[in-house]
Structure formats: C-alpha cells, structure tokens
Amino acid sequence: MPLVVLIVALLGVSAVDAVRNPTIRRLAMRNLTRRRGEAVLVVLGSLLGTAIITAAFIVGDTLGASVRDNARTALGPIDETIRVSGLHDTSSIVKDLAARPVPNTDGALAITIGGISVKTSGRAPYAEPFAGINEVDYDSARAFGGNANATGFANAGATPKNLEADISKELAKKLHAKAGDAIHVFGYAHAVDMTVRHVLPAVGVAGYNGRALFAAPGTITALMGANASPVSGIATYSQVLVSNRGGVFDGAKYSGSVTKQLRTRFDTSDGAEVLKTKQLLLDDADAAAKQFTTLFGTIGTFSVIAGILLLVNIFVMLADDRKSELGMLRAIGMKRNQLVRAFGMEGAVYALVSSVLGVVVGIGVGGAVARIASGIFGGDAFGGGLTIRLSIEPRSLLLGFVLGASIALVTVWGASVRVGRLNVIRAIRDIAEAPRNRTGRLRSYVLSAVGILIGLVLLRLGISNDNWFGALAGVPLASVSAITLLRAFLSRRVAICVGAGTALVWAIAVFSILPNATSKTDVQAFVVQGVILVGAAVAIVATNDDVATWFVSKLGVSRRTLAARLGFAYPLARVFRTSMLLGMFSIVVFTLTFLSVFSHLFSAQAPRFAREASAGYDLLVDSNYANPVPSSVLLGQPHVVADNTLDESSLDFTTPYETKRTEWEISGFDDALLKRGTPVLSHRAPQYKTDRDAWLAVLHDPSLAMLPDFFLQRGGPPQGSLSPGQRFTAYDRFSGGKTSLKVAGIIEGDFLFNGPMVSKTFLHSFTSQVTPSRHYVAVQGIAPERAAEGLKVSLINYGVKADTFEGLISERLSQQSGFLHLMQGYLALGLVIGIAGLGVVMVRAVRERRRQIGMLRAMGFPSRVVRQAFLIEATFLALQGIVLGTVLALVTSYNLLVHSDTFGGQNLHFEIPWPNILLVLVVALFGSLLASALPAGQASRIKPAVALRIAD
C-alpha cells in the first residue's frame, strides 16, 4: 500500500502539470519526441529491473501452484485420511462415519494400499521397482465427494476382478504400457501375472499413491499368501479417506475442526493415525511459493540494483547534457520546482512505459525459468517428479509493476531534485559546481557523525544479539560515513581508500572475526555482503583510475597512444558516471562468478562424498518395502562379496530449533556397517577420539544417534543446526511412543538420505514399522556400474534399485548444480542490463561530446582514432567491472568455505572453475564491445561542420 500511495502521489504531480501547466508539459515532451532512438534505449535499459521482479513472483506462483495442483491430481476430494498399518477391516469406520457424519464432511471411502514392483513382458521389458497397489470399490469411489470426475473413476467401469488391473497414467508412462498389455507383479515374496484393463487419469483417488496399480479386493492378501511377509505392516496400510464439504481446494478449510473430531472419535492408541492430508499439502505449497519467490527475488536484487544504477546514470547524463539549456530556463525566470517537475514528468513517462513492458518481459522470463525448472524439480533432490505448470496471478503482475514503477519513479525524482539544485551561471557556462560553503560542510560533518554512530550501534546490536546484519553492515556504514571527517585531515584519495578499504576488508573477514553473529545467515546476507564489497571496491578503483593516465603518459605521445589517451580521458573526468557503470558490471559479474564457483564445487565433491559415505562398500541397493531383498539372496549374486543391511523406518522428530513435529527417515545399523570401513563424520563429540569410536558408541548405546547435517532442513543454509552433545526427540506415530536421543556425531551431506542413524536394537525396540530394505554391497571382479545393472535385472522381483555411491551422489549433486545454473541464467538478465547500460551510456556520450569530437576531427584526428577511443573507453570500463566482480566473488567464496558454517559445515574444497568463469568474462566483454560498436561508429562518422554548429 505505501508503494501504491507513492506511485499515485508522484504520478499525480505529473498528471496535474500535464493538464494545468502547458509549459512544463511541452518542456517534458519535447525531448521525448525529438530523440526517439535514445528514448527507446532508455526504456529498454529500464524495463529489465521490472522484468526481474515480475519473473520472481511468477516463479514463486508457478512452483506454489504446481505443488497445490497435487491436491487435484493426487488427492481430489480427499481431505483427511485415517490410516492403520497392516491389513485391517476398516468398514466399521466407514459405517460409523455414514451413521454419524462429522460436521462439514460429505463422505468416506475405504482403501487398502500396498507396495509392489511391476515389469512388462517382451524382449526389452520396462520396470517400476517402487509402485503402489490399491484396492478400492469403484462404485464407492465414484460416489466419494459427490463428483465422479474429480475422483478419476468416472469412466473406469466396474471394479477389477481376478487378474485384471487398472494402472495410473503415471505408471503407464513409466512402463510404456497400454490397455491389453500383460504385466508381471511382484510383492510380499510372491509374483502374479495380470492384464492391464484401463489406464486411469492421474486425478483424485485414481492419482492417489502415485504410480499405482488398482486391483481386485483380496489381491494383496493373495500376494502375501499363507506366510505373510514379516514386514508387511510398514508396506501395507488400510485407510479411510474422508471428503470435506466443498470443492477440491476450499474443502481444506474445514480440516482443523474435522481432524480434531476424527482424532477424538477414533482412538489413536489402537494404531489409527488421522492426517490433515490436503491441508498439509497446501501448506507445503504455500511455503514453497514463498520460499522460491523470496529466493529468486532476493538473488534478483543484484540485477535490480544494476537497473537502478543504470537509471541513475541515464538521468544524470540527461541532466548534464541539458545543463546549459536548463540554466537558460532558470535565467529567464523558470522556478526551480518547475524544472524538477518537468524533468520528473519526462522520467515518469519512461518509468511507466518501461514498467508495463517490463511486466510483459517478466512473464516471458518467468515462463522460461519455469520450463527449465520442470527438469530440475522433477529429480529426487527436489521431491521427485514435481510437474511444473505455469501460473500467472494478476496480483503478482500488479505487484511487479508497482515495485518496478516505484524504483524507477524514486530514481527519476531523485535525479530531478539534483537538476533543480544547479547554479544558474555555472549551468549556462557548463562548468563544475562550486565547492560547498561552510554551512554545507557543517551539515556534511553532522551527517558523517550520525552515520558513524548508527554503524557502531548496529555493530553492538549484531554482536550482542548474534544478528548477521548488524555484524556485517555496522563497520562498513561507520567507515564509509567517516570519509567526510577524514577529508578534513587527509587527501581525498587517502580518505576514500581508508574508509572504503575498511569496509571491504570487514565484509570479507567478518565471518572469521564474529563467527557466532554470522553463523545464522541467509540469502539476504549474501546480497548485503555483495553490495558492500562491490560498493567499496568501486569507490577505491574509481578514485585511483587516474593511474591509467599516468601509465599511458609513460608510453609517450604517438599515434598509437592517442586513442588510449582519449579513451581514458572521459571516464576519468566523469567519476560519478564511471562509478555507476563499474557498479553495474561488478555486482552482476560478482553474483554470476559466485554461483559458478559453488555450482562447480558441489558437482566436483561427488568422489569424496562417495568415498566418505560408503564405508568401503561399492553399491547402494534399495528394494521394495513390501518385498525387501534378503541379504542371503544378495550374497548369492555373482561378484557380490559382502553385504550390510540397514533397517529403515519413518518417524516424527522435533529439535530445539524445529518444534513442529516433522516426518523424516531413520536408519538402524549393526556392526556389519563397520567391517570394511567407517563412514566419515564432519563433527563428533569430544569424548570420541576417532569417528569409529563414535559409531561404536552409537551401536552400543540406544540413547545415541548420528545426525545428518541437514536434518529437518528443507533447503538453503541450515537454520539452527544441532551439534554433538545436543538432543532431539523421536515420536512413533502409531504407538504414540516418544524418546530423547543425544547427538554423538554429524554426518556430512547425507546425500544417501539415511536420516538419523541409530542401532538396530534401539530401532526395533522403539517402533514396529521397520523394514530391512536398504543394503551396502561390495563387489569384486567386475566394475561396480556393471554390477549395479546386473542386480537391477536379476532382482526385479524384489524391486531392486542399485547404484554406485559415486553415481548416486553425483546425480543428486548435479540436480543442486542444475538449480544453481538456473539461478545463473536468471541473473544473466543483470548482465544484459550492464551491457545495455554501457550501450546507452555510450550513445549518450556520443551526443554529449559531439562538439568535442567535431573539434578533434577539424584538427585532423582520423575517424579511426575517434572510433578506437570509444572502444577503448568501453573496454576500460567493462574490464574493470569484470575483474572487480570476479576477484571479489572468488575471495568471498573462499572465505565462506574456509571460515564460516554458511554451508552447514560441509568440508568443501575450494576450486576455481576457470572454464565457467572465462565464459562469463568473454560473454561480458564481447557483449560490451558489441554494444559500444554502434555508438563508436557513429562518433567516427561525425562531420566537423555539422558538429560545430550551434543549433541542436
């Protein structure tokens, strides 16, 4: 709302002037109509900031809507579930709910769910090792929720009989199967051949349980046979699905009250668990949308900052270009506020047009990001198989427009105020403004002292409250504010170098100096750090750029050095503009390089992570919960020489930092894990001399556990990670049991998704929902990759999925790297802003310097020297920005790896990805030269007689 008020107020002033003050209107519109080409460049350079903001909102909406769409495809009318482990007759629950309906519900449906593996027939069969099997009455399913189409069974016919089966669209896609095909079903140590009758749409109850097969009632019991699998409990659930009053989405609003009454009516001590299934999914969707909107918006801040710097530069150049004209207007009686309003009106047109076009471009950018993200978020590292559907909310478009227009208008009116402060005589003569008088200097000293005080207060608050912002920004604010006071005693060069240098060093070293205050940083800290580093470095470089002139002067005066002298002269004379351009390039290259470094680091660590996590084994073998492969079967396979079985379960957990119960995997191990080696820990309690001692302690003490460093984290830097010696709580949802566990050590990464690791003895004593479905396997006499392929083929009846440790970790790291590459592509718009900004500035520079160019040409300077001078100028500016951004990013990334816990304490080894960085440098430099080629050519073709005319 404040932004809307700001836009309305600023536009209101211009609107009133446009109607009531024709002089201001004509003055503002005159330059728009006379210089259409330059106006187009200004708009193009300005719209990218709005595009970045709008794209961030669209990405967030798209990801949130994609997760929410699971409420339709995977749930439909299902709002709550009553779940009982194992095979049970739940008809009594359905009858009870029919006889005594819970308020705001409109139906209940019994369904039995199990786990199977499926394979097609043929010479080249397709297989799905982890499929679901559902038993449900189709007539009841169609009536469930009052809308047969929402259930997916509208055209499904009667319930399957005997060996008939319907399969979900997702399972059919995986198996390349269609109606009439024969399939082999494996589960609970038995197998059966079935025929596909229908392919059901992935909607509602038909989409429930993902890649699922719908079979006749009793099929699961038949698969279990007389000797039911001892682990059938964890793989089989008898459920009652409950539908609330209302549609697919709005029925979730009753989940709170309905769940409370269901839990009261059905005693959870008997093993029944009531879940707010749809509400939890929608909450996750909203959280995902918020998280990714924040992430993309925050990272996109760098590009927005580049756009702001471009706007500032553009309007400063416009003001300088019209300095004499504006001085004349003031001399003939135009008031200062009228000049401000005229300039503000012209800028408001740019702002409105660029914001509208920016929203349009942002839709395209958001759509492109969503398409790329669909491949990344479909991987296991991001939840597995999330289908991305583009969603564009009008609210987001409006908000993107409002934010973009606000930034542009504030920048425009800030430049307009600067225009209004021009001295009339100096403006007409086009000479620099006079130094500040005593009053101005006194005001500067007061503001400097206030800035120092605020910076010190921020630092103190940051240290005392362990707040990263105060710790990071306090010293830079104080040191930069002190520059004005320092200039009373030191030269300008020394004062700026001392103040900005202090800020630069502090922003790099603060993670080592104040580790406690900076241990809980987030992505916003990265933005603040980048702005401080780039701002300080640009100030130092721009102040000392005259060293280039000294260097060129040492080369002597010749035709070869003439173009270089001309190319350096203008940037050195216009320090403010040079600083804005350097800032644009530096901040974008800084971000791109930083992301390149960490993208490379994550993908390059796979061999080390695999070596440290494998404990001397070669393969990670997972099998179906309903039919886990026995260790004896694995050991009987060719080339398999050793096997370690992990027992798996799923519990709820809380920590001192995460008080809401969260479901997470947990694994139980025995001494077989340690027979061939020891999984490496990143941290361990001080009483254990070696990692092996810590693992042995957990093995023999049921109150201890190994904890993954990203435990209960949903992405991003850890917030409130546990340390060795701290405790967390585990809950068994079915028995109601609760226990406290102490952390003995921290497992780095947990790319295997084992979760907390405890002794098998403890796990079996705490919960009955345990299955021995994961194995560490050692092979001999064959490449591990070939052995993995062989196991998947020969053990399909157990749903075996085998991978090498390095291959599996590489895949998951590549998905994280893919996300970083996505962010790089998103931020490449900032690089476009920098290149476009340089092009705009060069075009403006040609116009501003046409008389000087005319004089040079009249004095005999060849056209090629003029062209070379402009290209040297562009290269000089671009190279400085590129080098600054690259060096700062490398220093920052090294510092974060070595001296901070920002990445969860992972022992990442710093490496410079030279190919990626060189690609960024080459693209940035080539783009800059390309953007400067046209204005340089225009400058070289200026005719002296035309340029020296007084008329515009």
pLDDT of residue 231: 47
Q: Residues 161-179: pLDDT tens digits? A: 988 999 998 889 888 888 8
**pLDDT surpasses 60 at 269:** no
Q: What percent of the chain lies above the pLDDT cut of 90? A: 16
**Which pLDDT value is given to residue 314?**
72
pLDDT for position 898:
66
- What distance in Å separates the CA atoms of residue 527 and residue 830, rounded to the nearest whole number? 14
pLDDT, residue 719, reads 52
- Cα–Cα distance, 711 to 664 (Å, whole number): 8
Contacts of 620 (CB under 8 A, 6+ apart): 614, 752, 774, 775, 776, 777, 802, 803, 804, 805, 808
Q: In the predicted model, what is the mean pLDDT of residues 751-760?
A: 90
Residue 249 has pLDDT above 50, yes or no: yes
Q: For residue range 59-95, list pLDDT tens digits in order.
A: 778 877 777 777 777 788 888 888 887 777 888 888 8
pLDDT band per the 50, 70, 90 thresholds, residue 694 = very high
Mean pLDDT of 202-225: 86
Query: 288 phi and psi, to 5 degrees?
Result: -65, -45
Task: Please state whether beta strands 105-120 and 619-622 pair in parallel, antiparallel, or not at all (unpaired).
Answer: unpaired
Q: Which residues of 428-460 are buried (b: 16+ CB within 10 A; e: fewer)?
A: beeeeeeeeeeeeeeeeeeebeebbeebeebbe
- What's the confidence (pLDDT) of residue 229? 46
For residue 338, give the amino acid letter.
Q
Q: What is the pLDDT of residue 902?
A: 53
CA distance 803 to 792: 9
Percentage of the chain modeled with pLDDT above 70: 85
Question: What pLDDT does 536 receive?
Answer: 92
Among residues 854, 314, 383, the alpha carbon closest in space to that of 581 is found at 314
Is residue 142 predicted with pLDDT exceeding 80? yes
Question: Is the per-residue pLDDT at 384 higher than 60?
Answer: no
* Per-residue pLDDT tens over the stretch 877-902: 888 888 888 988 888 777 767 655 55
Q: What is the helix (H) or strand (E) element at residue 63, kind and residue range? A: helix 36-68
Burial of residue 660 (number of CB atoms within 10 Å: 0-12, 13-18, 19+): exposed
The answer to whether residues 278 and 78 touch, using CB atoms and an 8 Å cutoff, is yes
Residue-averaged pLDDT of the chain: 81
Res 232: pLDDT:
46
Confidence category of residue 46, pLDDT binned at 50, 70, 90 = confident
pLDDT digits (tens, 9 = 90+) for 587-621: 888 888 887 887 777 667 778 888 888 889 999 99
Which whole number is the average pLDDT over 13-39? Answer: 77
Per-residue pLDDT band at 5 (split at 50, 70, 90): confident
CA–CA gap between residue 533 and residue 545 (Å, rounded): 18
